[in-house]
Amino acid sequence: MGSIKEYMFDLQEEEMTQWIREHLDDDEADEETPGWDDLTQEWSFMQESLQEEHEYIQWYTSHSYSELHRSFQFQIHNLRDLTDLQVAVSHEETFYKMAYAHAVTLMESFLADSIRSLIISDDKYFQNAITKVEDLKDIKYTLKDIAKQPDGARGFAIKELSGVMYHNIPKVREILKSILGQSISIDISDVCKITTLRHDIVHRDGKTTDGNLIKVDKDIALEAIDAVEVFVEKVASEINRVTNV
């Protein structure tokens, strides 16, 4: 066992050395070459990042889609309960704006988790993702790049889709349709209005682009929470219908 570990360590050392020499553009570079130590540190950070990505994907592998759905339900119900707390009048506006924005955050997290779970759990949905999703199908990676990624092409797909703005509901709907390989019947008009207001809350403290102040009270926050929950349940229902989860 010890010899195997030593062999793997030697391979990693050889790979690091080659990588550093390529970046220094010096085939004879070694530990005494200026810049070697900095690149050694950068290599170490890269390996740690790859390991974190691997553990990230393993988490989705070990958690079913139904668990992700239940987690959303639990958190959205908790958020609704929080709106019943007694809040000082002077803090109400801030409190309800935060509740409103967090409802959208929970929705974004659920949508991202759903897409990752589909790609990781089933080869069919992974193939749909890399051949039909605009953000993925034209990306070019070398075999060398894929070989270095602990989770191969799936890891790259997850990494690229992590950059999607999941409050862009029309785009997310198209991604889901592409991955599932079927049209999905979901009305997004209400939730799109909510994400627009959430943007005003987060980026302009509740003001429109014209500078008009948008008031968010308890009723408005609860309406947003309810609408987000309804939307997520429809998404979950469509995913369950297609995948027979």
pLDDT tens digits for range 66-86: 888 889 999 999 999 999 998
User: Is residue 132 included in any domain, yes or no?
Assistant: yes
Cα–Cα distance for residue pair 146/51, rounded to 1 Å: 14
Residue 57 lies in a domain: no
Within-domain flag for 51: no
Q: Which residue has the higher pLDDT, 188 or 158?
A: 188
User: 186 in a domain, yes or no?
Assistant: yes
Can you tell me the mean pLDDT for 117-125?
Answer: 87
The verdict on residue 183 lying in a domain is yes
Could you tell me the pTM of the whole model?
Answer: 0.71
9 in helix, strand or coil?
helix
* CB 176, CB 235: distance < 8 Å: yes
Q: Does residue 30 belong to any structural domain of this protein?
A: no
What is the domain range of residue 123? Answer: 64-243
In a domain, 12, yes or no: no
Count the domains in the chain: 1
Nearest Cα to Cα of residue 67 among 9, 101, 110 = 110
Asked whether residue 193 is assigned to any structural domain, the reply reads yes
